[in-house]
Structure 1
Amino acid sequence: MSHLLSAADLAHGIEDVVVLDVRWALTTANTGAGRADYEAGHVPGAFFVDLDTELAAPAGEGGRHPLPDPAVVQALARRAGITERSRVVVYDAKESYAAARAWWVLRWAGVPDVRVLDGGYAAWLAAGLPVSTEEPADRHGDFAVRPGQLPTLDAAGAARLAREGLLLDARAPERYAGEAEPIDPVAGHVPGAVNSPTAAWLAEDGSFRRDLAEVWKRVTDGREAQAGPVGVYCGSGVTAAHEMLALAQLGVDTVLYPGSWSEWIRDPSRPVATGSEPG
């Protein structure tokens, strides 16, 4: 089963799905931009979802985007009318970074059928499909969240997987290498983690590349994960979900380290590697 949906396919079946708009400001300087973009125009019938408050808990010991309170996710699901039988489609502006976080969180919470609009709202507009500025009314769904339906890694588990299996760091190469760190106070990566920049999985139009298997071949480069899934982390557990979505398209089992780098560095006793190699 593909986890992705084209704009044409969404338009064809839009009456039968729950659509969530997860446009998100990547920087604090643009906080609120996602909501403003939604109000300016969105896929008809889509509900706006705020990543920072509905798909993550407040920043703290668990990193910049810890897993959300299940009660918050349940409120979101019920507001959008999600039931056990719902098919849910999520999208963001273009690259599906935030949409992938929603895809992962909703499945972690027990929503069985979640897809991502490939290419996001940009793909919808490019297809010449209609837009709306009307916000739908609360649909009062009855979905009961069951958190923990997807496995996760803690810091110890991430360190073990980096030694014994395959742990991917989805951040840009310069952040992984410790050459630049625009967000977190410490630069570098988890020792043993392999750099796999999220952007490498994207085509120029923001959709997922059609040659994902070739990208995966270059990432592994002879490395093979031992028994168990591939671990993935990023800065705070958002863009890592995007890489997990790409790998899900290939049938590769993955597990998220939700705290990611922003949680790893909160304990000064944890080692930090720098340079372009796993270390």
Structure 2
Amino acid sequence: MTAPVLTTPAELYSRLFHGDPVPVVLDVRWRLGDPHGHEHYLAGHIPGAVHADLDTELAAPPAPESGRHPLPDPAALQRAARRWGLDQGRPVVVYDDNGNTAAARAWWLLRWAGVGRVSLLDGALAAWRAAGLPIETGEPAPPAEGNVVLATGQLPVLDADAAAEVARTGVLLDARAAERYRGETEPVDPRAGHIPGALSAPTGDNLAPDGTFHSVEELTRRFAALGVDGTTQVGVYCGSGVTAAHTAVALARVGVTAALYPGSWSAWSADTTRPAAVGAAPG
């Protein structure tokens, strides 16, 4: 069974307090340059939510050839999922406090690992707060160990060569901010610019002003303007494979399964044999 991509705060509240089974809720607080996700979680989270650490549980250690957030080792991901209390077949809802730009990584990883019943909380923590729903503080008791068995490889991934090929023959979307795509600034990675042939598709444009995802109709128009017409292969990348997952979620909303380049620009730009395009044109 595959869950809807998104769930609303009202739906999650009902499932938390009246559901059978009650979903596992993962709090994925992370922002580039802010290492205090766990502290933010302790200051206020959805009741019963478990903190999932993006750097140590949703990624392997960084390396130049695989980027700042490589995919985690499958066995390590399964250990983390069991620590979160995830049982076989139990539903999962994930959220963060930044429009789900980090939580989307957990959504994508779990679906990649064969967990179909995983959804994003639309609007993230801000929507939960705006609905007047309860917030819990402090560190809760750890959940009972789960028994989930993960089977990775259920969503497509790209390496650098495959990403270059998609840029030539399909649609490769760069989910970073437009100024990073153009090469005007590069705050963290070795070189500025973008993969030649990639199209700029900033993650923030997936969201409405209130932080919820745009409607399916609006997202369909957005991606159609970028050449996503249902007939060609689509790939996504960003700086390190985190916010690109957000665009994979948006594409899933319109029925498109995109291939993720986990190494993204952090791996591509570290390889001096790879070309870098600059400017607004794909190059």
Flag whether TM exceeds 0.5 (same fold).
Answer: yes
Counterparts of 1:137-176 in structure 2, within 5 Å, are 137-176=142-181
Could you say what secondary structure the match of 2:197 adopts? coil
- Does the CA-based 8 Å contact 1:47-1:136 persist in structure 2? no
Aligned residue for 1:129, secondary structure, equals coil
Name the CA distance, whole Å, in 2 between partners of 1:253 and 1:40: 36
Residue 160 of structure 1 aligns to a residue whose secondary structure is: helix
Kindly tell me: are residues 3 and 169 of structure 1, through their superposed partners in 2, closer, same or farther at Cα, counting changes over 3 Å?
same
Q: Is 1:17 equivalent to 2:23 in the alignment?
A: yes
Per-residue CA deviations over 1:124-163 (Å, capped at 9, x if unaligned) read 1111111112413231111122221211000000000100
Moved more, 72-81 or 240-249: 72-81
Return 5+ residue gaps in structure 2 as ranges.
Answer: none
Residue 176 of structure 1 deviates from its aligned partner by: 0.6
- Shift in alpha-carbon separation, 1:50–1:246, aligned structure 2, 3 A: same
TM-score, length basis structure 1: 0.93
Alignment of 1:233 with 2:242, yes or no, is no
Letter in 2 for 1:98: A
Please give the alpha-carbon distance, in whole angstroms, between the structure 1 residues aligned to 2:219 and 2:150.
Answer: 35
Task: Say which SS state the counterpart of residue 20 (structure 1) adopts.
Answer: strand
Pick aligned residue for 2:253 from 246, 249, 254: 249
RMSD of aligned residue pairs (Cα, Å): 1.7
C-alpha spacing 1:80/1:162, structure 2 compared with 1 (3 Å): same
1:216-241, Cα deviation, whole Å (9 max, x unpaired): 43444373568553100001000000
Deviation readout 1:38-93 (Å, 9 max, x if unpaired): 11111111110000000001110200100012122111211122122110000001
Q: Does 1:179 align with 2:181?
A: no
1:42 aligned partner: 45
Say yes or no: does 1:188 pair with 2:193: yes
Within 5 Å, give how 1:58-207 maps onto structure 2: 58-60=61-63, 61-133=65-137, 134-207=139-212
Could you tell me whether the CA contact under 8 Å between 1:93 and 1:121 is conserved in 2? yes
2:189–2:270: 8 Å Cα contact kept in structure 1? Answer: no
The DSSP-based 3-state class of the residue aligned with 1:97 is coil
Structure 1 residue aligned with 2:56:
53
Report runs of 4+ in structure 1 exceeding 2 Å deviation: 212-229
**C-alpha contact 2:230 2:256 (8 A) present in aligned 1:** no
TM-score (structure 2 length as normaliser) = 0.92
Residue 258 (structure 2) pairs with residue 260 (structure 1): no
